[in-house]
Structure 1
Amino acid sequence: MTKHLLIVDGMALLFRSFFASAAMNQFIRLEDGTPTNGVQGFARHVLTAQHLMQPTHIAVCWDMGMHTFRNDLFDGYKANRPAPPEEMVPQFDLAKEVSAMLGWTNFGITGIEADDLIGSMVKKWQHDAQMTVISGDKDLLQILNPSTTIAFTKKGYTEYDVYTLERFQKEYGIEPEQFAHVKAFMGDTSDGYPGVKGIGPKTALKLIQDFNSVEGVLEALPTLKAGQRIKIGENEDMLKLSYQLAQIHCEAPIEKQLDELIVPADYTQHLEQLHERGFRLIVKHAKSLGL
């Protein structure tokens, strides 16, 4: 039987679930008052994905704190992100706890982002399993390969914008690993690095289609239009730094073996434990899916 590993960007689903329900003041508190809206939404999302995608293995990747090696490269990295709402703070640890209670394997390394863990898994197991990554982060397009599909969250728990290697090549006209070079030019406002001011997504993509890489564009600088030449020339250091920030690093140590991530064959005990802790929405949802 072909192995199918579902890799979940835990933080992306946790934030998404939190803000979707917090907007309506639905914090779904436990008896002690702890808010659980993000946690319960995250778990229900992954359970639904499991039902839809039928993976044989599951891994959940987490950011561990705000500071990573990218902050050491650039002080402004993610500096514009607001602090999480107070109702969300206790849910970071709780989400990992609930994930483990459901029998899923959590991954998180201080100083390394979830994206880098996901990229490292994809690199490590690309010849051992088919992989589906669930996230909302377009940066992950750069890790696509023949055995990996990326499902970007779209609507609710069931709708995804799914990218395969073939779709990416057809739409972008470049290879996935070149996507970080595109991001280097266009920058990323949510991550707080500017790229080259005045160069947007279309121009950035065209430059990489024509010259393959940041270095290729810099070598071809004298041949570019005057406007582009000036913008890139004035921002060359930030361009090179932006490339370092945009690139997913796929060398993080993944200590587990693939077969340690097998999906639970039976959720009965897991659900009993969750019910005792007061996570009744998760239990109800799992049972509705026949798990």
Structure 2
Amino acid sequence: MNKNHVLLVDGMALLFRSFYATAMSGYYMINSKGIPTNAIHGFVKHLYTAMRTYEPTHVVVCWDMGSKTFRNETFQDYKSNRSEPPEQLIPQFDLVKEVVEAMDIPNVGLKGYEADDCIGTLASQYDKEANVSILTGDQDILQVATDRTTVVLLKKGYGNYAEYNPTTYYEEKGITPDQIVDLKALMGDSSDNYPGVKGIGEKTALKLIKDYGSIEGILANLDSLTKSQKKKIKEGLDMLYLSRSLAAIYCEVPVDCHLDTAVLNMNHDKVRAKFEELEFKRIDQLMTI
């Protein structure tokens, strides 16, 4: 059994989730310097809870680096429906990376790529010499689940997770993780703002993928589809292929984070000093979640 266990963390997913958990009630934890820290505090709680739960030997946190990626060059409207981040969250973007750095955990991100692309890239590198767990709230990353890479989706509260590998995902959805891209190509993704095939929703898309296995399988059997489905797919072919390229996580990002640099070995005094600087309360309780 491999002793190495890497926890890959979607930093943005944790940070946004933590921000909105308290911001909805107007609680931003503004310290004496006038800096909101609610998102960072929640991020730290999620991270410590996951580390205690999964006991990783290595940890890496991945980040989006700006709102534009190579997908915007392919499709200008990609994620154009996203609003600007709230002003109380903006100063926390850089500060949370300082916190991760104080924990001696690598921050990984590259302009032009999403955190998911970096996670997918590192997971494909690490799973040759380690078991990998991906901590996120974003289901897009499910497509990279393998026998060695488990996706851990955050549920409500702290320490509540839904874990997926190819077997558990198939048991729940009836398709495999590597079929997710074709599923999303058909149905689109309103969150990421690409349409898929107009008029084909999740239920129909899932049935077609189950029946024919892939986009290529569907196209090879167009005459077996209903007249309406056939018409929609033939008319939406360009957007089908475009949506598939947008849905696929790119696993060849030129990021370099050698496993040796990700060994979990925190200097607790350094971490405590950073938490005190941010004026976190009940620091001992926070660090031992």
TM range (shorter): over 0.9
The reply to whether residue 6 of structure 1 matches residue 26 of structure 2 is no
Q: Please report the RMSD computed on the Cα atoms of aligned residues, expressed in angstroms.
A: 1.5
Q: How far apart are 1:101 and its partner, in Å?
A: 1.2
Deviations 1:141-193 (A, max 9, x none): 11011111111111111101111221112233333211100010111001000
User: What letter corresponds to residue 270 of structure 2 in structure 1?
Assistant: Q
| Residue equivalent to 2:280 | 280
SS at 1:16 equivalent: helix
Partner Cα separation in structure 1 for residue 270 and residue 147 of structure 2: 37
Moved more, 203-212 or 12-21: 203-212
Deviations 1:83-103 (A, max 9, x none): 111111111111111111122
Q: How far apart are 1:207 and its partner, in Å?
A: 1.2
SS at 2:155 equivalent: strand
Partner Cα separation in structure 2 for residue 101 and residue 30 of structure 1: 19
With normalisation by structure 1, the TM-score equals 0.94
The reply to whether residue 190 of structure 1 matches residue 227 of structure 2 is no
Deviations 1:108-129 (A, max 9, x none): 1000000111100111111211
User: What letter corresponds to residue 245 of structure 1 in structure 2?
Assistant: L
| Equivalent pair of 1:30/1:278 in contact (CA under 8 Å) | yes
After superposition, the Cα gap between the structure-2 partners of 1:109 and 1:63, relative to the gap in structure 1 and judged at 3 Å, is same
Partner Cα separation in structure 2 for residue 190 and residue 107 of structure 1: 24
| Residue equivalent to 1:21 | 22
Partner Cα separation in structure 2 for residue 91 and residue 273 of structure 1: 14
Aligned residue pair count: 288
Deviations 1:195-216 (A, max 9, x none): 1122121211221222222222
The reply to whether residue 50 of structure 1 matches residue 67 of structure 2 is no
Partner Cα separation in structure 2 for residue 223 and residue 9 of structure 1: 41
User: What letter corresponds to residue 155 of structure 2 in structure 1?
Assistant: K
| Residue equivalent to 2:169 | 168
Q: How far apart are 1:273 and its partner, in Å?
A: 3.3
Partner Cα separation in structure 1 for residue 177 and residue 281 of structure 2: 39
User: What letter corresponds to residue 93 of structure 2 in structure 1?
Assistant: F
| Equivalent pair of 2:134/2:152 in contact (CA under 8 Å) | yes
Partner Cα separation in structure 2 for residue 19 and residue 151 of structure 1: 20
With normalisation by structure 2, the TM-score equals 0.95
SS at 2:124 equivalent: helix
SS at 1:229 equivalent: helix
SS at 1:280 equivalent: coil
| Residue equivalent to 2:112 | 111
The reply to whether residue 91 of structure 1 matches residue 86 of structure 2 is no
User: What letter corresponds to residue 206 of structure 2 in structure 1?
Assistant: L
Q: What 5-or-longer segments of structure 1 have no aligned partner?
A: none
Runs of 4+ in 1 over 4 A off after TM superposition: none
